[in-house]
Amino acid sequence: METNNMAEPTLERLESAFMNAHKAGDKKAAGVLAAEIKRRRAAASVKKEPPTPQQEMMSMPDEFTGEATPEAKKFIPGVARELAQGLTFGGAGELVGAGRGAMAALRGEEFMPAFQAGMGEFEAKRKQFKEEYPASALTAEITGSLPTALAGGALLSGTRLFQAAPKISQTALAAGEGGLYGLLSAEGDIEERLPQAGVSMAAGGLLRGAGEVLPRVTEPAKRLISEKIQPTVGQSFGPLIKATEERLAAVPLLGDVIKGGQREVVESFDKRMIEGALAPINFKVPTGKTGVEAMEAAEDALSAAFREATPKAGMPDARPLQNKINEIVQNNTDLPSDIFRQMREKLNKTIGPSLYDKNYRMSGEAIKKADSALGKQAITYIRTGDPDKQQMGRALFEMQSYLRDELIRQNPEAKALSAAREAYKNMKPVRKAATSAAGDVGLFTPAQMLRGMKSADVSIDKTRFATGKMPQQELAMTARDVIGKTIPEDRSLLAAMALKPSLVPISGVAGIAGQPFYQTELGRRIARNIIQTPGAALRASTVSPTVPAGIGGLLAEQ
């Protein structure tokens, strides 16, 4: 009989073979080798040297054998216990004990000893896990408590009490959840648990109450922020802070900084309205342009869109244009005679018989020429600041609007006009708002924007405006409540300091310090976050009742 004279392979050779099989992807061979290596290690009685890289790999959770490491066998159940503790508001130990007690009762044994033993064993394992993995234990317990706590908040939000007094309701909920968690998570009988429950309840109520009282950004302000409009500190928070900002705006020098920031918010709103109106032609206000310059850029873009579209269209009947000229002339007879004559001449020259043939047909090129001339002249007169010339500019704008309306009416199927037509309709309220201010030409408040929308609404009895369905109306209504109804005076801090040098040591220094937080979008965002962070942190601390319960536990030990 043959004998096998080959020496039994050493553990090192087995480990090397295992690594080679693992690298080659031979799972079957690697599995056999892994089992043999583990068998030999278990049988070894001598003290092991520091593990080799191969041994380190063998001690990790094994994809070949499906076995978890001792570390994992301890960690995973520990996390599960903490999750259960949070999910049950600190009552997981009691539930485990109740299960043990019920099983004992079914066997004919006493309930209470088994209950206490089960709960004690559960709490002992929790204590050991928290000592070894404090961060993981706390994270798991808080995570486990969130579904239950959020479910309680969701149920509360649907009640009449919450709708009538949401801040008080949230405070009461935080107090109740903290007290319940403190009661269930404490040790001892009911009398021993009550002090911790009371402290936990007080902690939850105080934390949430303070969080509700401290400043928080209002929902209307959040709506503006979502539209990339950064309101000032006073505009972002409730009436108290807004009233304080308005009082400070009356202080020399410091007030100029505040008004400058408020003016920038109006400019941001105007930019958003213009870009929203001209979204069909993908227009963006050029950086640095505000007021009349922004409007001029918008009108140029809209005119360019029409110029690209009108050569493919035309106007079969230009006679309605002449009728409109006569109407505009009759409606502006109150102008001084020289300006009235100038307006009439420009209208007749821009939309004159030379632009259409004997059959009153007007080519696309002629329309493009007239549209461009009317727009440029209107902008030029409106930006002069002279009320009479501004009226003439508005008359020219009216003619341009009618020209475009008639072009669209006579070309209902022209696809090239669709985007320009939509943008043009959207711009009507913006244009009316921008030309309604006597002092700040080109700038307009949300209230002026709403008046422009109402004026531009051609539905019966202004139904679209009355039901809030005009384009961008909801945003304009929100901005009216946040921004206000006036445009602050435009004056730099340096100019104000030059006029009032005696106030520089006090108000001037305050103005210089506050200028970055008011007159830049980034500064306004930073200032808002600084003010709202304490309240937000306190409110967040009570999302999970483990925080007030933990405070109750710490204070109860003192």
* pLDDT confidence of residue 275: 95
* pLDDT reported for residue 120: 85
| pLDDT tens track for 65-84 | 455 566 667 788 888 888 88
- Please check the confidence at residue 132 and state whether its pLDDT lies above 60: yes
Tell me, what's the pLDDT at 490?
65
Distance, CA of 484 to CA of 481 (rounded, Å):
6
Write down the pLDDT at residue 292.
84
**Which of 465, 489, 513 is where one domain is finished?**
489
pLDDT of 279 over the 90 cut: yes
- The confidence band for 495, taking pLDDT boundaries of 50, 70 and 90, is low
Other Cβ atoms closer than 10 A to 334 = 8
pLDDT attached to residue 52: 57
Share the mean pLDDT of the chain: 81
Per-residue pLDDT at 4:
45
CA dihedral angle for residue 524, residue 525, residue 528, residue 530, rounded to 10 degrees: -110
Given a cut of 80, is residue 439 above it in pLDDT?
A: no
Q: Are 338 and 367 in the same domain?
A: yes
Query: Is residue 196 a part of any domain in this protein?
Result: yes
Instruction: Label residue 450 by pLDDT band (50, 70, 90).
Output: very high
> What percent of the chain stands above pLDDT 70?
83
- 342 pLDDT higher than 50: yes
Residue 507 lies in a domain: no
pLDDT, greater one: 542 or 495: 542
- Per-residue confidence band for 332, with pLDDT thresholds at 50, 70 and 90: very high
pLDDT score of 309 more than 50: yes
Of 489, 507, 540, the residue that ends a domain is 489
Structural domain for 176, as ranges = 167-213+522-558
What is d(CA 179, CA 554) in angstroms, rounded to the nearest whole number?
14
Dihedral of CA atoms 133, 139, 145, 150 in degrees, nearest 10, equals: 180
Is the domain of 33 the same as that of 114? no
Note whether residue 239 is domain-resident.
no
Q: What is the mean pLDDT of residues 191-198?
A: 81
Helices and strands in the chain, H and E counts: 27, 2
pLDDT at 359 exceeding the cut of 80 = yes
176 inside domain: yes
The answer to whether position 109 is within a domain reads yes
Task: Give the model's confidence band at 6: pLDDT under 50 very low, under 70 low, under 90 confident, else very high.
Answer: very low
Q: Which of 67, 85, 112 is the last residue of a domain?
A: 67
Q: With respect to residue 249, please indicate whether it lies within any of the assigned structural domains.
A: no
Residues 25-58 have pLDDT tens digits of 776 776 777 777 777 777 764 555 565 555 554 4
The yes-or-no verdict on residue 338 having pLDDT over 90 is yes
Tell me: pLDDT of 137 over 90: no
Q: Are residues 115 and 203 in the same domain?
A: no
Beta-bridge partner residues of 363: 314
3-state secondary structure 380-412: HHHCCCCHHHHHHHHHHHHHHHHHHHHHHHHCC
Question: How many domains does the structure of the chain reveal?
Answer: 4
On whether both 35 and 150 belong to a single domain, the answer is: no
Task: Please compute the mean of the pLDDT values over residues 168-194 and round it to a whole number.
Answer: 80
Q: Does the pLDDT value for residue 478 go beyond 70?
A: yes
Q: Are residues 335 and 199 in the same domain?
A: no
Element holding 314 (H helix, E strand): strand 314-315
- Does residue 532 form part of some domain? yes
Shared domain for 417 and 555, answered yes or no, is no
Q: Is pLDDT at 5 greater than 50 in this prediction?
A: no
- pLDDT of amino acid 492: 58
Domain identity same for 271 and 146: no
| Confidence at residue 354, expressed as pLDDT on a 0 to 100 scale | 82
pLDDT in the model for residue 227: 93
pLDDT of residue 130: 83
Looking at the structure, tell me whether residues 386 and 427 fall in a common domain. yes
pLDDT of residue 1: 41
